[in-house]
Chains A and B, each alone.
Chain A
Amino acid sequence: MRNPRLLGAYHGYTLKNTTALLAAAAIGCASLVGSANTAFAQEKTLKIGIVTFLSGGAAGPFGVPARNAAELVIEAINSGSVPAPYQIAGIGGATIDPIFVDENSKQKNADFQKLVEKNGVEMVVGYISSASCLAIAPEAEKLKKLTILFDCGTPQVFEQTVTDPKYTFRTGGLATMDSVGAVRYLQKMGMNVSSYAGMNQNYAWGQDSWRDFAGSMAQVYNSARVVSEQFPKVAVGQYDSEVSALLTGKPDVIHSSFWGGDMEAFVIQGSARSVFQRSKMLLTAGETAMHRLAAQMPDGTIIGARGTHGELAPQSALNDWFRKAYFDRFGALPTYPSYKMAQALLGVKAAADKAGSSDQDELIGAMKGLEWEGPSGKISMALANGHQAVQDIAYGTYKYDKENGKATLVDVVRFKASCVNPPAGVKSGDWIAGGFKGADCN
């Protein structure tokens, strides 16, 4: 079933004449007939604001794949076509009615207020940028509106900004696990590292990622030294100076949490000037670009997906369904932002099924400490008093299959959530500085 409101919302369709109105009415009737088995049981609708980048540099690699996943999963939830254990149609007896909003806005808080107060949404699922999450989390608490942060990674959200959350949840993992997992992968692969460098964007995400990576390196490779720390401005696109600095520093390993167009530009410029060949490159968010860059991504690059998403997802009926449905509909495989959106919406669905209701207070109660299955495996709301998710993470090494023209990952290693995340009640920076106390890697 395709929801006409959903289509209208993101394609910007306008009905300009009677013919179009009649056509819309016909489509609406057809949809109702097609979903007769569920529609009578679900007269109630649950308005959800979905916020991702629909414009700007993050739209292509992040925002649009996330929006596509939202569209796909919401329609499947409404029609009851998600595989078990999500086969019951709707959310606590209600049909989801999404409103898509562009995260690429200078007035994110005002947009959020508008969603809550004018559009009357009962829940907001969104936010890719860490800067957005830091701005929205306090707003969600102030307006007392259930808000699910699905992608951003900065630990600051619950460690510094909203330390006692009631309405804000994050269903995606912390940036901490990306960095700790990356260092554990180097160790697992037997890498000897005497020097390393960082190439990260100059805002919360890049700074936090580098802090956690450098902190973890200091624990695992305590004699290794930092030879270069680069923090270029987001979207500057020209990295000749940074690449030269990385070349002159001659690090064994280069860590980068770059994403989107910045990452693709860095790969193009860095590989052309052999920096990927001279140092081991570690791209914690590299999975989003590996299919697009294909032969241009140098073999041997270590690739992460901010969890066990995308190419690193485990095989399961849910994952098989998600990959096939996404590919059939959008002509491309889902990357990690799609997975993270799917796992957020399925988390809401699991909470509603558990509570037997789509009421906000019931949902909040069910969400706290929830465990559920997503296409990437098990997710647990284990941190921040049950408001912050943890999950496993995996890394792999890039290899381009020339014969088939396919981007692949080899030497994939999976680390348990308890191995790469701090225990409940411990701040990520303190946990790393304290030598990963309580980590369970067996």
Chain B
Amino acid sequence: MLTMVAIAVDGLGFAAWLFLSSVGLTLIYGVMRILNIAHGGFYALGAYSAAWAIGLYTQGGGPIAFTYLLIPIAAFVAGVIAGLLVERGILRFMYGRDEVLMVLVTYAIFLILEDVTKLIWGTESYVSYQPALWLGTVDIFGLPYTVYKFLIIGVAIVCGLLLFWGLNHTRVGKLLLVVIQDREISSALGINVTLFFTVTFLIGATLGALGGALTAPEVSVVPGIGSEIIVMAFAVIVIGGMGSIGGAMIGALIVGFARAASVHLYPPAELFVIYLVMAAVLAFKPYGLFALAESRKI
């Protein structure tokens, strides 16, 4: 019983982290058809910005409660600045190119962002645990869990709901769905596709940075932190169906519970269980569980 409870809570926590870290990736792919490997760089920038800001602030001795505000601020600043530079400075010159080429371009950007983090913050690790500890723990059947973990789960749910509502119940969201469906027709109808691309990329980059910023208090922020997440984020969006926000949520839950079950029931499988699940899903649904329907142009 205790093991089942632990699998449920651990799986949910891992899924929340995965969803926050991958939803921006799937949003950008859905709208722009760009497999954005630089997403790992935005995640790292968010993590470093938050850890650095929290460290600087707590050294001053201010109340810890304010650090919870620093996290989204750091993510927003990092995501918007880096997103703007990447989209306006590089990607806009590449729109319409082959998707494989865009993978190479974003991979190059990812490597550049890795070096940017090293130039700004060096190679030392940054530890900013105060927000993760300050809220304390709650006991679930005798197992202590940090309240901060539930805060991350809550943020993931709110982000998912906001994105779902924004896309389906607002004018801008509905226009975005039109752009996703067909860029050329959208442009012909007078929709400013370029603006939508820029805004979508900024939202995606900021979500990536938010994933990193929220994770920072739980981990040691070190060079290379963005490499690991990009692999798992790809697994999540491939399982869920690339470009589908609902798919990212379901994909994150599947991966989260699969990993937690493996750790508790058969630890040696932890390393490959995520990819086993991915392979199993793709065997039956080659485009993922909730892949967007593709219109065929004649």
Genuine A/B complex: yes
Residues of the B chain whose Cβ atoms lie less than 8 Å from the Cβ of A56: 222-224
Which size bracket describes the interface of B in this complex? 35 or more
The answer to whether the Cβ of B65 comes within 8 Å of any Cβ in the partner chain is no
The dominant DSSP class at the A interface is helix
Are B123 and A55 within 8 A (Cβ)?
yes
One of B28-36, B260-268, B284-292 contacting the partner:
B260-268
Residues B228 and A261 in contact, CB atoms below 8 Å apart: no
A194 contacts B by Cβ under 8 Å: no
Q: Is A161 an interface residue (CB 8 A)?
A: no
Closest chain A CB from B123 CB (angstroms): 4
Chain B CB within 8 A of A406 CB: no
Q: List 17 A-B contacts (CB under 8 A).
A: A56-B223, A57-B223, A57-B224, A104-B224, A202-B270, A228-B267, A232-B270, A233-B270, A238-B13, A238-B14, A240-B149, A241-B264, A244-B10, A247-B144, A248-B264, A268-B127, A272-B133
Digitize A347-375: 1 where CB-to-B-CB distance is under 8 Å, 0 elsewhere. 00000000000000000000000000000
Q: Which B residues are within 8 Å of any A CB, using their own CB?
A: 2-3, 6-7, 9-11, 13-14, 17, 114, 118, 122-125, 127, 129, 132-133, 137, 143-146, 149, 215, 218-225, 227-228, 259-260, 263-264, 267-268, 270-271
The one of A61, A238, A248, A272 in contact with B146, judged by C-beta atoms closer than 8 angstroms, is: A272
Q: Which of A59, A61, A202 has the most chain B CB within a 10 Å cutoff? A: A59
Whether A310 sits at the interface, judged by CB under 8 Å, is no
Interfacial residues, chain A to chain B (CB-CB below 8 A): 54-57, 59-61, 63-64, 104, 202, 228-233, 235-238, 240-242, 244-245, 247-248, 260-265, 268-269, 272-274, 292-293, 296
What separation, in Å, do the CA atoms of A55 and B225 have in the docked complex?
A: 11
Q: Give the contacting residue for A231; candidates B9, B127, B144, B271; CB below 8 A.
A: B271
User: When A235-B224, A238-B218, A272-B132 are in contact, do A296 and B10 touch as well, CB less than 8 Å?
Assistant: no
Pick the contact of A54 from B7, B17, B123, B227 — CB < 8 Å?
Answer: B123
Cβ contact within 8 Å between A229 and B223: no
B129, A268: Cβ atoms closer than 8 Å: yes
Q: Using Cβ atoms and an 8 Å threshold, which residues of chain A touch B122? A: 60
> Closest Cβ of chain B: how far from A151's Cβ, in Å?
17
Contact between chains at B144 and A273 (CB < 8 Å): yes
Asked whether A245 and B267 contact (CB < 8 A) given A54-B123, A60-B123, the answer is yes
Assuming the A-B contacts A60-B222, A268-B219, are A244 and B125 also in contact, with contact meaning beta carbons closer than 8 angstroms in the complex? no
In the bound assembly, the distance between CA atoms of A257 and B209 in angstroms comes to: 31
Measured CA separation A265–B129 after assembly (Å): 9
**Which residues in B have their C-beta under 8 angstroms from that of A63?**
123
Chain B residues with CB below 8 A from A237, complex form = 215, 218-220, 225, 228
**Across the interface, which residues of B come within 8 angstroms of A296, CB to CB?**
127, 129
CA of A237 to CA of B227, assembled, Å: 12
Neighbouring B residues of A230 by C-beta, 8 Å: 263, 267, 270
Contact B146 A273 (CB under 8 A): yes
* Chain B residues with CB below 8 A from A236, complex form: 228
Beta-carbon contact of A265 and B220 below 8 Å: yes
Contact yes or no, B263 A241, CB < 8 A: yes
Contact of A64 with B124 in the complex, beta carbons under 8 Å: yes
Closest chain B residue, CB of each to CB of A228: B267
